[in-house]
């Protein structure tokens, strides 16, 4: 789905459900899409706000099923992290959102995430010596690896969703005209994009069911805006 | 079965499938439980032999021969061999059944040493010596050899009940197939016990798993 289709669906929905319904390109680019995308990404990663007491399980969790992974697949990237051999710290990638998995540079050995209170137990383990069973913590500076001289680590991570941008040109008081050369299409699949549109519309007070939105989308495809 | 294969089998049993990268029942942890499980299985075999055959023995399939064990001088005429693990404590000599010395130049093996019990240690020096035999006794992980010969140029070969070399995960786990279920049941109880124990996940200075 292109960003133009997204924008058209949102304009259509706003026009149908709001008096004088209109969404400016700037509102679409800078407010609605970033918030809706981030909200949907948070939902797929597992909203900890929905945890219950003594039961840290969200209704939807990253990795819970292949379907959820499939939705996030456009955001899952791999990189090799260089680790400072003295401090054991490697900064987060610039677009980093959440760790998917971490493993060693040579061979597929696991680098485990641990929490600070358990560091000394892992560090002093004689059953699983830290040299052969490296671990990492999360800190403000980035990933803190033990042993510090681990060298490199392979990281599979979920990146922040890239911005969705409806580029346009505007002459005088004429309506803005879509410009694909300055636009950026969403990376999400069509069904996931519908979920994002539902969230974006909710932000302007248009609360639609998913299937109503699907109807709008097919209207636009069949008859145009 | 390879040691690493059996460890994988046990971990899959505990986790109901392939363990994730967060699994706390690690390969190393299962490997440290294995000697205990082998001991339980060997003891069951020992009891079975008495119950069925009326003779106390442990099936040959439990035995491993460890070679090239270094011999060092402990005291005058007393030599020490370090075993790869402490022999299990069943029977009088079932734990470590045989120990021979090897001349590395001629490749000749000595006759097996004659074992002394701890009681015999208190009086064996007053007894007539046994010609051409080395006497020895085991204590924990060591075997002590009484000999006037210079033994440090030789190496020792010890045959004992053992699952095999625990440091080599790709070695064969020396247990007959009919005793694997006993080991598996033992490991399952221990490891699910660890897995199901409530954990203190809060970092609040209290070693508590439940609050009121």
pLDDT bucket at A61, cuts 50 / 70 / 90: low
Residues of B in contact with A103 (CB under 8 A): 21
ipTM score of complex: 0.78
Residue B180 per-residue DSSP state: H
For residues A142 and A89, the answer to whether their CB atoms sit within 8 Å is yes
- Please determine, for residue A28, whether its predicted confidence score (pLDDT) is greater than 90: yes
Report residue A52's pLDDT band, with 50, 70 and 90 as the boundaries: low
Domain boundaries along the sequence of chain B = 3-58+164-195, 62-161
- What is the C-alpha to C-alpha distance for residues B39 and B162, in angstroms, rounded to an integer? 8
| pLDDT in the model for residue B158 | 95
pLDDT tens sequence across A76-126: 999 999 999 999 999 999 999 989 889 988 766 889 999 888 899 999 999
- pLDDT of residue A33 exceeding 90, the answer is yes
Minimum CA–CA partner of A100 in chain B: B21
Cβ neighbours of B29 in A, within 8 Å = 127-128
**Residue B122 contacts by C-beta under 8 Å, 6 or more apart in sequence?**
none
Q: Quick check: A127 and B28 CB within 8 A?
A: yes
Give the number of A-B residue pairs with CB atoms closer than 8 Å.
19
- Over range A149-171, report the average pLDDT: 92
Cβ separation of B22 and A112 shorter than 8 Å? yes
pLDDT at A217 > cutoff 80: no
* A183 pLDDT more than 90: yes
Residues of A in contact with B203 (CB under 8 A): 115-117
User: Do B29 and A127 count as a contact with CB atoms less than 8 A apart?
Assistant: yes
Q: Is residue A63 scored above 70 in pLDDT?
A: no
Q: State both tokens at B94.
A: 């079932």
Please tell me the predicted confidence (pLDDT) of residue B50: 93
Q: Flag whether pLDDT at A210 surpasses 70.
A: no
Residue A53 CA to residue B197 CA, distance in Å, equals 19
Where are the domains positioned within chain A? Answer: 3-53+164-223, 76-159
Mean pLDDT by 10 residues, chain B (212 residues): 95 93 91 94 93 91 92 94 91 85 92 90 86 90 92 94 89 92 96 88 73 52
pLDDT recorded at residue A206: 77
Residues of chain A contacting B, Cβ within 8 Å: 101-103, 110, 112-113, 115-117, 127-128, 133
- Interface contact flag, A112 B21, Cβ < 8 Å: yes
- Give the mean pLDDT of chain A: 86
**The pLDDT of residue A223:** 65
Cα–Cα distance measured from residue A199 to residue A219, given in angstroms and rounded to the nearest whole number: 20
* Overall average pLDDT of the A51-61 stretch: 65
pLDDT of residue A59: 65
User: Residue A171: is its pLDDT beyond 90?
Assistant: no
Distance from CA of B209 to the nearest CA of A (A): 10
Q: What distance in Å separates residue B177's CA from the closest CA in chain A?
A: 27
Q: Contact A69/A46 with Cβ under 8 angstroms?
A: no
| pLDDT over threshold 70, residue A57 | no
Instruction: Please state the three-class secondary structure of chain A as a single string.
Output: CCHHHHHHHHHHHHHHHCCCCCCCHHHHHHHHHHHHHHHHHHHHHCCHHHCECCECCCCCCCCCCHHHHHHHHHHEEEEEEECCCCCCEECCCCCEEEEEEEEECCCCCECEECCHHHHHHHHCCCCCCCCCCCEEEEECCEEEEECHHHCEEEEEEEECCCCCECCEECCCCCCCEECHHHCECCCCCHHHHHHHHHHHHHHCCCCCCHHHHHHHHHHHHHHCC
pTM: 0.79
Mean pLDDT of A131-137: 92
Contact call for B203 and A127, based on CB within 8 A: no
In 3D space, the residue among A8, A17, A28 whose CA is nearest the CA of residue A220 turns out to be A8
Confidence at A216, pLDDT banded by 50, 70, 90:
confident
Among the ranges A143-147, A209-213, B95-99, B131-135, which has the highest mean pLDDT value? A143-147
Closest CA to B32 of B87, B85, B95: B85
Find which of B11, B28, B32 to mutate to test the A interface (most A CBs within 10 Å of its CB): B28
Question: Cβ of A117 and B32 within 8 Å?
Answer: no
End-to-end CA distance of chain B: 48
B202 CA to chain A: closest CA distance, Å? 9
- Cα separation, B175 vs A66, whole angstroms: 40
Nearest CB to A128: which of B21, B22, B26? B26
* DSSP state at residue B149: S
Cβ within 8 Å of A, B 7-46: 21-22, 26, 28-29, 32
Q: How far is B186 from chain A (nearest CA, A)?
A: 19
Taken as a whole, chain B contains a residue count of: 212
Enumerate the residues of chain B whose CB falls inside 8 A of the CB of residue A133. Answer: 26, 28
Contact A115 B22 (CB under 8 A): no
User: Which residue of chain B has the CA closest to A135?
Assistant: B22
Which pLDDT score is estimated for A4?
Answer: 93
């Amino acid at each position: 789905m292109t960003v133009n289709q997204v924008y058209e669906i949102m304009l259509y929905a706003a026009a149908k459900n709001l008096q004088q319904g209109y969404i400016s390109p700037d509102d679409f680019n800078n407010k609605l899409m970033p918030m809706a995308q981030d909200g949907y990404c948070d939902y797929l990663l597992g909203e900890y706000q929905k945890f219950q007491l003594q039961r840290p399980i969200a209704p939807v969790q990253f990795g819970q099923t292949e379907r959820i992974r499939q939705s996030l697949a456009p955001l899952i990237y791999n990189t090799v992290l260089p680790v400072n051999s003295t401090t054991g710290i490697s900064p987060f990638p610039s677009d980093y959102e959440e760790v998917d998995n971490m493993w060693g540079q040579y061979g597929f050995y696991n680098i485990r995430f641990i929490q600070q209170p358990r560091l000394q137990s892992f560090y002093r383990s004689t059953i699983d010596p830290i040299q052969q069973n490296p671990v990492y913590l999360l800190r403000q500076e980035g990933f803190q690896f033990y042993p510090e001289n681990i060298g490199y680590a392979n990281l599979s991570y979920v990146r922040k969703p890239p911005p969705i941008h409806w580029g346009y040109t505007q002459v005088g008081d004429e309506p803005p005209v879509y410009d694909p050369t300055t636009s950026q299409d969403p990376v999400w699949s069509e069904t996931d994009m519908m979920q994002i549109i539902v969230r974006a519309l909710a932000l302007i007070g248009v609360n639609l069911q998913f299937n109503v939105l699907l109807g709008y989308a097919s209207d636009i495809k069949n008859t145009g805006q | 079965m390879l040691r690493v294969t059996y460890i994988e089998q046990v971990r899959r049993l505990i986790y109901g499938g392939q363990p994730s990268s967060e699994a706390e029942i690690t390969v190393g942890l299962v490997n440290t439980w294995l000697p205990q499980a082998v001991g339980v299985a060997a003891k069951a075999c020992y009891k079975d032999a008495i119950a069925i055959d009326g003779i106390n023995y442990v099936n040959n399939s439990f035995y491993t021969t460890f070679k090239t064990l270094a011999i060092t001088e402990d005291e005058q005429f007393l030599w020490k061999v370090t075993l790869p693990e402490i022999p299990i404590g069943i029977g009088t000599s079932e734990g470590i059944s045989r120990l021979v010395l090897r001349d590395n130049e001629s490749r000749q093996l000595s006759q097996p040493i004659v074992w002394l019990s701890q009681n015999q240690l208190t009086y064996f020096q007053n007894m007539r010596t046994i010609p051409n035999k080395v006497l020895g006794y085991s204590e924990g992980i060591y075997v002590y050899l009484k000999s006037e010969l210079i033994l440090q140029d030789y190496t020792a070969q010890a045959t004992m009940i053992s699952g095999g070399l625990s440091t080599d995960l790709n070695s064969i786990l020396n247990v007959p197939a009919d005793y694997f279920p006993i080991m598996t049941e033992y490991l399952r109880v221990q490891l699910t016990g660890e897995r199901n124990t409530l954990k203190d996940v809060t970092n609040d200075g209290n070693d508590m798993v439940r609050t009121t």
